[in-house]
Amino acid sequence: MSNDELRVRGVRSWVWVVPMAAVLAVPAAIQGQRRGGAVAGEIDSLVAAALVQSEQEEREVLLHQADSLADHRIMAHPADADALYWRAVTAGLLAETAGAREKIRLGTRSMESAEAALAADSTHGGAHHVLGRIHAGVKRLGWFTRLIGGRLGMGPLLEAASWEDAEFHLRRARTLEPENITFRLEYGVTLRDMGRDRDAAVELAELLTRSAEAPLETAALDRACRILQELDAGPCPAR
């Protein structure tokens, strides 16, 4: 295996920036209630269309359109937290199918955009969720991927990422938007990965008292149930 192949193999698992579940679970409350709501809604629609697109080329076209809209909004309103958040989302999704170095560039763009969104609005739950996912994702990377990532210029992020920051941002997202099932699931999963099984079980058991209103939410609750059972925390509550 060549050095380039090793690098790609190592960075393939670097798809931690923004999962599809996180995007689809963004609450409708964000749209139309903050400045630039109409634009945010248009970007949301493009991203949603991209996520159900089976053709990679068409998917990327839609994501680039969404990214361009976010960029134009940011040029006109640099402190628009929603536009900055959606730029973080589109960059993260584009990173999933990008090459190794482009993946890192997009991942950095996603993180910086989420940080800028929080600088503009510290109560933006989506931006907290993005940053929490980044920190948790980096901490979950295996040694080989961390080695390759360091060689490709991700050393500062590898050193800066922490479980404490992951827990802080995901807890903040959960607190700001308690009805968001994905935010609560990710918080519970991170508690488990931090070795806080009892806290994770409490969080997931409470989550499972909620009702799903969309197929994605049903899948999230099913995952929460599986994790709760793996923790030997008893049967899942009836839903």
Range of the domain at 217: 162-239
154 assigned to some structural domain: no
pLDDT for residue 156: 73
Together in a domain, 116 and 202: no
Residue among 173, 176, 170, 162 nearest 200 (CA): 170
**Is 31 a member of any domain?**
yes
Token pair listed for 20 = 């599809």
Pair (196, 106) in one structural domain: no
Whole-model pTM: value is: 0.79
Verify that 11 and 120 share a domain, yes or no.
Answer: yes
Would you say the C-alpha torsion 102, 106, 111, 113 has a positive or negative sign?
positive
Split into its structural domains, the chain has a count of 2
pLDDT at 15: 38
pLDDT digits (tens, 9 = 90+) for 153-176: 667 777 788 999 999 999 999 999
Domain match, 110 and 171 both:
no
Does residue 144 sit within a domain?
no
Q: Are residues 52 and 118 in the same domain?
A: yes
Burial of 108 (0-12, 13-18, 19+ CB in 10 A): middle
**151 or 89, higher pLDDT:** 89
User: Can you give the CATH number for the domain in which 214 is found?
Assistant: 1.25.40.10
Q: Which residue has the higher pLDDT, 93 or 100?
A: 93
DSSP code of residue 213: -
8 Å CB contact between 96 and 23 = no
Same domain? For 98 and 186 the reply is: no
- Whether residue 123 is found in the same domain as residue 202: no
- Residues 121, 48: one domain? yes
Q: Is residue 118 part of a domain?
A: yes
What pLDDT was estimated at residue 18? 37
Q: Is residue 148 assigned to a domain?
A: no
CATH code of the domain covering residue 68: 1.25.40
Distance CA 142, CA 52 (A): 30
Same domain for 125 and 184, yes or no, is no
Q: pLDDT exceeding 90 applies to what percent of the chain?
A: 46
Residue 157, domain member (yes or no): no
Do residues 187 and 98 share a domain? no
Regarding whether 90 and 11 lie in a shared domain, the answer is: yes
In a domain, 147, yes or no: no
pLDDT digits (tens, 9 = 90+) for 219-236: 889 999 999 999 987 777
Residue pair 67/91 in contact by the 8 Å Cβ criterion: yes
Give the confidence band of 108 by pLDDT, cuts at 50, 70, 90. Answer: confident
Asked if 184 and 126 sit in the same domain, the reply is: no
